[in-house]
């Protein structure tokens, strides 16, 4: 009878252990499942924030790309107009503009002397520290160049300045 009671006791301990073990495992599994769900949810939230940040960055990039493209088109159009003007000046007035040493521009007129149309008449110009036009030399020398320089500083009418210099060069040919 003691052996039967011991066997019955042993059997009930084993059943209890099996129930405990299965209950504990299911609780552990439920805990792991909940932890897994929480970590997936947190990861999804972080991923959503990152995706929104990337979308904003792409939008900003596209916005910046659009003004840059617009500015490039405007600059290309402006350059085209300037080139057309330069070609017109060169063809009609025989004016060529070169950049030379010392951040100066050299203006070379041709088609002034009817006997020698290719003969160059030139002057050099730059902006001084005060951002005023400054004529540094001319060939042949023009007496009224200082007066022309003062007028362009006052009026800022560069086209009139060029016209006056050309007229002065033309006058030297006919005098």
Query: Is 113 within 8 Å of 173 (Cβ atoms)?
Result: yes
> Using CA atoms, how far apart are residues 142 and 129, in angstroms rounded to an integer?
24
What is the tens place of the pLDDT at every residue in 19-73?
Answer: 666 665 666 667 667 777 887 888 888 888 888 999 999 999 999 999 899 999 9
Instruction: Give the DSSP letter of residue 151.
Output: H
Return the pLDDT at 23.
Answer: 62
User: What is the model's pTM?
Assistant: 0.54
| For the chain, domain boundaries | 1-81, 94-174
Return the pLDDT at 22.
Answer: 66
- Please tell me whether residue 9 adopts helix, strand or coil conformation: helix
> Using CA atoms, how far apart are residues 29 and 118, in angstroms rounded to an integer?
98
CA 21, 24, 28, 29 torsion-angle sign: positive
The pair phi, psi for residue 112, each rounded to 5°, is: -100, -45
Examine the pLDDT at 137 and tell me if it is beyond 90.
Answer: no
Q: Which CATH class is domain 94-174?
A: alpha beta
What is the tens place of the pLDDT at every residue in 81-109?
Answer: 888 887 887 777 788 888 898 889 999 99
């Amino acid at each position: 009878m003691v052996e039967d009671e011991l066997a019955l006791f042993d059997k009930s301990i084993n059943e209890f252990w099996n129930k405990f073990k299965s209950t504990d495992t299911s609780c552990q599994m439920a805990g792991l499942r909940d932890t897994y769900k929480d970590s997936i949810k947190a990861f999804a939230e972080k991923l959503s924030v990152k995706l929104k940040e990337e979308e904003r960055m792409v939008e900003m990039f596209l916005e910046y790309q659009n003004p840059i493209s617009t500015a490039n088109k405007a600059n290309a159009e402006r350059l085209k107009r300037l080139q057309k003007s330069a070609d017109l000046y060169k063809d009609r007035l025989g004016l060529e503009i070169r950049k030379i040493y010392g951040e100066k521009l050299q203006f070379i007129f041709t088609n002034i002397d009817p006997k020698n149309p290719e003969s160059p008449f030139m002057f050099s110009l730059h902006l001084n520290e005060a951002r005023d036009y400054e004529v540094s030399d001319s060939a042949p020398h023009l007496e009224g160049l200082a007066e022309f320089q003062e007028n362009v500083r006052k009026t800022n009418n560069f086209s009139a300045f060029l016209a006056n210099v050309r007229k002065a060069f033309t006058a030297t040919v006919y005098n």
